[in-house]
Structure 1
Amino acid sequence: MQRRAATVSVAVFLLLAAGAYSYIGVAQQPDIELSDPDYKVSTGETTIEGTTYNVTDLGESSAAATWVNESARYTETLGANDTVTYQGDNYTVVIPDQEEYEAFELREVQEVDRPTVEDNGTTYVIVEEDGERRLVERDEYLDEPTVHQFEVGDRFERPDNDNETRVAAVTESEVTVEWFAPRTNELSFDEGENTTVGETPYLAHFPGDGTMELTTDYADYESDAAAQRTFHERMNGLWGIVILSGMAASLLVMLAFMPSRY
């Protein structure tokens, strides 16, 4: 009698497991379908909001794109007392005290071509004339250094830079110069994620036909994504029925055929 009851129970659990497993096999996940995407693009050049983008690496759930800003701003910072090269010579950046910082100087870095000595904090140059040596203070030995003065807006040549460079700002501790030149920018897209293109954040979707769709209708995408989440939750529940029913059937079989102690 015990084994008959166990057999019936095992059959019920197996039927539950088989039914759940069969449903899993035929169930289909709902697709995400955008009703009216703002843009549908494929690999290659495409125009979005008046800017041309080159779409690359377009896969099943991600893509990349590049675009060129023809007049991107570049800057370089020169610190006070830094040594910089200007017109082939070395200069020290000097920022004089001023009420409104708008100007700075480049003072020539002068090199002494003779031996020197230090005495009480003063540098002397050893000069030999007619077989005699004499000491001349370094400042007296050297000519007046060349000084270049600049203000905000002045042109400022930089080595290995063919772009027109100008002084953008001056503070008590640094000078900023700027120039404008082309710059390649990169964008990345991922399924269901936002990417700002121009000034607009777009949500990306990859329908699986070798294209990428961009939309600002987030509710349209989210409604289909929610349906997919519900589908996965139900599939997980069915797998739970399959596993638990199988375990219960196995346990009943083992218990039914255990030898009796009486």
Structure 2
Amino acid sequence: MQRRAVAVFVALFLAIAGVAGALTATADSPEIALENPEVDVSQGDSIPVDDESYVVTDISESENDEGQMIISGTLERNFTAEASETWTNGSTVSVGDRDWRVEIAGENATEFTLVEVLDRQAILEADDTAENETVTLDDGEYVAVTDDSGERTLVPVDEYFPAPEERSVATGETLEYNGQTVTVDEVTADGAVLVWETTETETIEVAQQSTVTLGDTDYIAHFPDASTLRMSTDIEAYEAQVAEIDRFDQYNSGLSRVLILSVLSSIMLAGMAFIPSRY
């Protein structure tokens, strides 16, 4: 009698396990699907935003720390920005292949002067008749020059070295600096401000199901495969799909626990049925 009762319960638990297993095996897991996305692109495509565009420079698949394969992408936008640099009064700057000293005269100056900084050492070394170092005496600095007869003469440095070149540059004028054309935007007693346009690159890393802001618009990003990026502004619909997936996972997890508990209960009851009775 005891074994017949156990057999009934074992059959019941196995039936429950069978139903749970069948439901688990046949249930279709919902997936994220962006309907009518505003953006549907592949690597190399452009995404227009206002008067500019972002280029999809990369879509790739990689393995994360948990060993899962994940898809991510990169967007890039080139844009024009204004750069500036201040040349302080008395500083030395390199323009062309020479060094210049910045000189600004007066509190209300509207221009500055570039005064060439002579490479005295190079000039001395290039002159076979001059010594490579100047001579300093009580009354000034000199260059020692030896003529063809061997006579050594001291020449004042102001007479020996050529007069430095000077260039005046006013507000609004341009000059070539570091391979680009710069404009003198402002001149004050402290320095001159130079401005120019430069091209900069904005890079946006896009992760699976991340929020991406392009211009003033927020998008939800989705990679259906390792070569396609889709983005939609309907973030609420995306969140609803995520909630549906969470509910499915909870439902499926519950069925799995029922399956396991039913099988274990059947095994335990079957084992108890063969325990000898003391009566």
Pairwise TM-score range, normalised by the shorter structure: 0.5 to 0.7
Unaligned runs of 5+ in 1: none
Cα distance between partner residues in 1 of 2:276 and 2:132: 109
* Counterparts of residues 112-123 of structure 1 (less than 5 Å): 112=120, 113=124, 114-116=131-133
Deviation at 1:234, TM superposition (A): 2.2
Q: Percent identity?
A: 28
Equivalent residue, structure 1, for 2:164: 145
> When the two structures are superposed, what TM-score results if normalisation uses the length of structure 2?
0.64
Cα distance between partner residues in 1 of 2:218 and 2:189: 40
Instruction: Please tell me whether residue 235 in structure 1 is matched to residue 242 in structure 2.
Output: no
Unaligned runs of 5+ in 2: 62-70, 125-130
Deviation at 1:193, TM superposition (A): 1.4
Instruction: Please tell me whether residue 20 in structure 1 is matched to residue 20 in structure 2.
Output: yes
Cα distance between partner residues in 2 of 1:100 and 1:63: 54
- CA, structure 1 residues 54+117, in 2 after alignment: closer, same or farther (shift >3 Å)? closer
RMSD of equivalent CA atoms:
4.6
Task: Kindly indicate whether the alpha-carbon contact (under 8 Å) linking 2:143 and 2:160 is maintained by their aligned counterparts in 1.
Answer: no
Cα distance between partner residues in 2 of 1:64 and 1:208: 15
Equivalent residue, structure 1, for 2:175: 156
Instruction: Please tell me whether residue 108 in structure 1 is matched to residue 116 in structure 2.
Output: yes
Cα distance between partner residues in 2 of 1:133 and 1:151: 43
Deviation at 1:86, TM superposition (A): 1.5
Deviation at 1:231, TM superposition (A): 1.3
- CA, structure 1 residues 127+230, in 2 after alignment: closer, same or farther (shift >3 Å)? same
Deviation at 1:194, TM superposition (A): 1.9
Cα distance between partner residues in 1 of 2:251 and 2:140: 87
Q: Is 144-153 or 95-104 further displaced after alignment?
A: 95-104
Task: Kindly indicate whether the alpha-carbon contact (under 8 Å) linking 2:34 and 2:231 is maintained by their aligned counterparts in 1.
Answer: no
> When the two structures are superposed, what TM-score results if normalisation uses the length of structure 1?
0.67
- CA, structure 1 residues 57+247, in 2 after alignment: closer, same or farther (shift >3 Å)? farther
- CA, structure 1 residues 151+18, in 2 after alignment: closer, same or farther (shift >3 Å)? farther
Of 71, 78, 96 in structure 2, the residue corresponding to residue 87 of structure 1 is 96
Cα distance between partner residues in 2 of 1:260 and 1:149: 115
> Rg larger in 1 or in 2?
2
